[in-house]
Amino acid sequence: MRQGSGVRDGVGKGQISMATVERTLVLLKPDAVARGLAGRIIQRLEDAGLKIVGTKMKQLDAEFTKRHYFDLEERFGSSVYEKTATFMQQGPVLAFAIEGVEAAKNVRRLVGATFPNEAPAGTIRGDFAHVSKAYTDAQHKVIANLVHASGNSEEAKYEIDLWFDASELFEYETLAEKYTF
C-alpha cells in the first residue's frame, strides 16, 4: 500500500523488501519538450523497470518556479537562480512521478551528470545533450540539460507533493513488477 511518504512496505512471497520502492520526480525541461525527446526519455525510464504513477504538463510561472527551486538561490547565488527560473519558464515542462526500487538514485544514474559534457554515453544527458559549464558561463546562459531529477528521497517527497495532488497519483502493477520483483 502506498503511504504518504511514497514508499510501500510489506513483503509478499517471492518479492524483495518493498521498503526500497519509492517515488521520485522527473521533469522534462523546456529544452527536452521543444526538441521532441519526451518519448525517448520516458522509454529509458520504463526500460529500466521504473513506472509512471503521475504525469502532467505545466507552464511554470514565477511563483511556482520559486517554490520548486526554493533553495537554489541560497546554494548557488541569485545569478544561477535567475538564469534557471528564466529557462524553466520559457516553455512547457512535463512532470512525472516515477516509482521503482531506489527510484531517486536510479533515475539520477539514468539521467547522468548535471553538465552534459561530463555525462557518460548511455545516459540521457550524455546521449542527447552536449553543453559544457564553460560554454554556458561564457554565454551567460543556464545549462540546457533536458531533465530535472530529485536528488534524494526526501527531496522527491517535497517535489512530488508540490507538483501533484494525491488524486493525481495512481497505483497499478506493471508486468516488470509482476515478473521481476
Total domains, the chain: 1
> With 80 as the cut, is the pLDDT of residue 10 above it?
no
Does residue 158 fall inside a structural domain? yes
Q: Is 130 a catalytic residue?
A: no
The predicted-structure confidence for 24-42, as pLDDT tens digits, reads as follows 999 999 999 999 999 999 9
Q: Choose the catalytic residue: 68, 130, 140, 148.
A: 148
- Residue 175 has what pLDDT? 87
- pTM of the predicted model as reported, rounded to 2 decimal places: 0.87
Domain that holds residue 173: 18-180
CATH number at residue 147: 3.30.70.141
Q: What is the pLDDT of residue 137?
A: 87
Asked if residue 33 is part of any domain, the answer here is yes
- CA dist 130 → 72, 108, 113, 114, 144 (Å): 23, 17, 11, 11, 9
**Span 110-123, average pLDDT:** 95
Q: Give pLDDT tens digits for 133-153.
A: 899 889 988 899 999 999 999
Q: What is the pLDDT of residue 8?
A: 47
